[in-house]
Structure 1
Amino acid sequence: MPTTIRTRASAASLVALLTLAGCGEPDGGTVTADQRPTATAGPTGAGDATADGATGQPPVGRTGGTRSPTEPPLIGKPTAPPSHPTELRKANVLAGRLSRGGNGPCYTLVTDDGREYAMYGTDKGTFATGTWVRVTTAPATAEVDCGPGIPVSILKMSQVG
């Protein structure tokens, strides 16, 4: 029996605390217009500096308030690499370093991912070996062989940087 008395006493204490906090009123805690705090002009004329008239809570942005801004949701760490490229680029545009330069018509380009391209193009300019270039390509001409690498024809080639 002593346990039952303690439980009832604890429950009664909880009801008393909720009533004092305004949560346990019989009418649901409704505040009428005449019970709301009135706004008093402060030194800046901004109204009540301590509480929001509707909720009784300090206004957002005021010092001493109990409200805190909500934190934005965090993006988790990726669990795997992306399944598709994150930067879209044109399939016929290459960039890389020339491993065989000169005045053409054959050049060899090595891209950052290690792919080697055997490029063919007449009157495209003179480029030194080691020059970084950007190349717009087209399918290779079948009768031309410019050596090892993926064969392509050059539409446009320009030095980068």
Structure 2
Amino acid sequence: MTNRITYRCPNCGGQDCGWDAYAVWDDAEQMMALGGAYDEMWCSDCGELKSLDLMPLAEQPVLTRPMLLQVLDLSTGHVTKEVMDRLYDHQGNWPFSVKIDPYGCFLSVPDVDTDPADLPPSLAQCFQYARSIGAVYIHFDRDARRDETLPFYSW
């Protein structure tokens, strides 16, 4: 077996790190797929990151096929302007990770154990819908199509 590696944040040792990336639609699979990655890195644990530390990873079973994660692509209009402003300003103790980009943001879909009362109603509805279709991330994009199954807020 080859030596496996992992990356950690050099500031806090956090594991919730990654690179900025973009998704593209895969006609054959009928889902979003990784289109490419950029040089910008991030750490959701501490919010600071310019580089990642490369570390050996404890031996784990190798997957026989790649793990695919579903991303729900939604218009930013499916949440209120106040919610989007709070996400952009990193206001709120959110029970999910948030990655902002110039056109919207990526959110991890929280577990069903998250109390919907702790979330703004427009955001709670989006999370409920994402979980119902098996999505683990939501990409709110200002240019995404409107989804007729969810309320839409004109702002």
Q: TM-score, normalised by structure 2?
A: 0.23
Asked which structure has the greater RCO (Cα within 8 Å, sep 6+), the reply is: 2
